[in-house]
C-alpha cells in the first residue's frame, strides 16, 4: 500500500515538473527579448503563450525573432537602412549598362565585363556577376547575424 502512494507521488511530481519545464521553456524568447530591450517583446511573450497551444511549433521562430535584435546595433542595419556592402554592390550593378537581351533571357548586365555573351568571355562575365551577387548575399547574412 505504501509503495502505491509513493509511486503516485512520484508520478504527480514528474507531471508537475514536466508542466513547469514546458511553461519555463516557452518563456525563454521573451526573457531574451526583454534583456535586449526588443521593441516587440510583448508580441513575443504572447506568441510564446500561443506556442503552448501549438505544441511549441512556432517556438523556434520566436527564438530567432528575439535574438536577431540588439539594442546597440538594432536589426544589424546601418542608419540609412542598408548595409554598406549592399549599397556598394547596388552601385556597381547600376553602373553596368543594361543592353539588349542575352541568351539567359534576362536583361544582360555584363556588357561592361565582356563584349558579348555568346563567347567564353561572356560566360565568365555571367559568372563574375553571379559571384558578386553571392558575395553580397553572404555579406548581408553575416552582418545580420553579427559575424562581421
Find the domain containing 37 and state its range: 2-67
Residues 48 and 101 in one domain: no
Radius of gyration of the chain (CA): 26
**How confident is the model at residue 52, as a pLDDT?**
87
Task: Report yes or no on 140 lying in a domain.
Answer: yes
- Helices and strands of the chain, counted as H and E runs: 6, 0
Task: Report yes or no on 76 lying in a domain.
Answer: no
pTM of the predicted model over 0.75: no
Examine the fold and report which residue of 16, 42, 67 is the final residue of a domain before the chain moves on: 67
Number of domains composing the chain: 2
Task: Report yes or no on 115 lying in a domain.
Answer: yes
Reported as a pLDDT band with limits 50, 70 and 90, residue 4 is very high
**How confident is the model at residue 56, as a pLDDT?**
85
Which residues pair with residue 70 across a beta bridge?
74
Helices (H), 27-144: 28-35, 41-53, 59-67, 84-95, 120-144
**How many alpha carbons fall within 13 Å on the CB side of residue 56?**
11
Decide: 114 and 122 in contact? Cβ < 8 Å. Answer: yes
Segment of 68-72, 84-88, 111-115, 120-124 carrying the highest mean pLDDT: 68-72
Residues 98 and 131 in one domain: yes
**What is the residue-wise DSSP string for 45-67?**
HHHHHHHHHTTTSSHHHHHHHHH
Residues 63 and 19 in one domain: yes
**How confident is the model at residue 61, as a pLDDT?**
94
Task: Report yes or no on 16 lying in a domain.
Answer: yes
Residues 140 and 91 in one domain: yes
Higher pLDDT, 120 or 93: 93
Residues 6 and 62 in one domain: yes
Q: Determine the Cα–Cα distance for residues 52 and 65; give it in Å rounded to an integer.
A: 17
**How confident is the model at residue 20, as a pLDDT?**
93
Task: Report yes or no on 72 lying in a domain.
Answer: no
Tell me the three cell numbers of residue 33. Answer: 527579448
CB atoms within 10 A of CB 15: 10
**How confident is the model at residue 145, as a pLDDT?**
67
Amino acid at each position: 500500500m505504501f509503495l502505491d502512494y509513493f509511486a503516485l507521488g512520484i508520478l504527480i511530481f514528474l507531471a508537475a515538473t514536466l508542466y513547469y519545464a514546458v511553461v519555463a521553456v516557452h518563456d525563454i524568447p521573451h526573457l531574451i527579448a526583454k534583456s535586449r530591450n526588443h521593441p516587440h517583446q510583448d508580441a513575443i511573450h504572447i506568441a510564446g503563450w500561443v506556442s503552448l497551444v501549438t505544441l511549441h511549433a512556432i517556438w523556434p521562430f520566436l527564438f530567432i525573432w528575439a535574438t536577431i535584435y540588439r539594442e546597440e546595433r538594432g536589426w544589424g542595419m546601418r542608419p540609412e537602412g542598408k548595409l554598406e556592402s549592399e549599397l556598394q554592390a547596388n552601385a556597381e550593378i547600376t553602373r553596368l549598362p543594361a543592353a539588349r537581351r542575352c541568351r539567359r533571357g534576362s536583361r544582360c548586365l555584363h556588357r561592361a565585363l565582356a563584349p558579348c555573351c555568346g563567347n567564353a568571355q561572356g560566360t565568365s562575365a555571367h559568372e563574375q556577376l553571379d559571384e558578386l551577387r553571392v558575395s553580397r548575399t553572404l555579406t548581408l547574412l553575416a552582418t545580420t547575424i553579427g559575424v562581421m
